[in-house]
Amino acid sequence: MAIELNQPALRHARSLVREGKVVRDERDDWSEAAPTADEENAFIEREGWTQYSHWHLGIDRDENHETKGAYSFPFGDFRRVHRSGVISAESRAGQYDHDEIRDALASLLKLIDEDDGK
């Protein structure tokens, strides 16, 4: 498994934050806010795998790109970035030594929190 930073997803997340499409919730809220498997399936059916990939900061290039197993570290609900999702993903990335992904999530969290102060 070779999970790496999904650059298009990072650009997408930053763009959403700049547009104000953010839910400023707390870490523990992610368990309720994260899309369900049915919501993920409906999104994939409607928007396709490329759009699905844009909601995950981790990508495993060894996996089939038309499977959910290729994507990790989700950060939103297919409409908005969730602060809780960013915090949760940052923690998991750190636990599994995905330093580049962890650092990207930390910078995204900083962007969210700085934007909140404006």
pLDDT above 80 (res 117):
no
| Residue 28 confidence class, pLDDT cut points 50, 70, 90 | confident
Cα 36 to Cα 40: distance, rounded to the nearest angstrom: 6
pLDDT of residue 115: 65
Count of the separate structural domains present in the chain: 1
Strands 56-60 and 3-5: antiparallel
3-state secondary structure of 66: coil
Strands 22-23 and 81-82: parallel
Strands 56-60 and 71-74: antiparallel
pLDDT of residue 27: 80
Q: State the DSSP H helix or E strand holding residue 15, giving kind and residue range, or none if neither.
A: helix 7-18
pLDDT above 70 (res 61):
yes
Average pLDDT estimate for 61-68: 96
C-beta pairs of 103-106 under 8 Å, 24+ apart in sequence? 104/5, 104/10, 104/57, 105/57, 105/73, 105/75
Average pLDDT estimate for 27-41: 94
Range of the domain at 89: 3-116
3-state secondary structure of 5: strand
Q: Which residue is it, tokens 């999904």?
A: 6
pTM, rounded to two decimals: 0.93
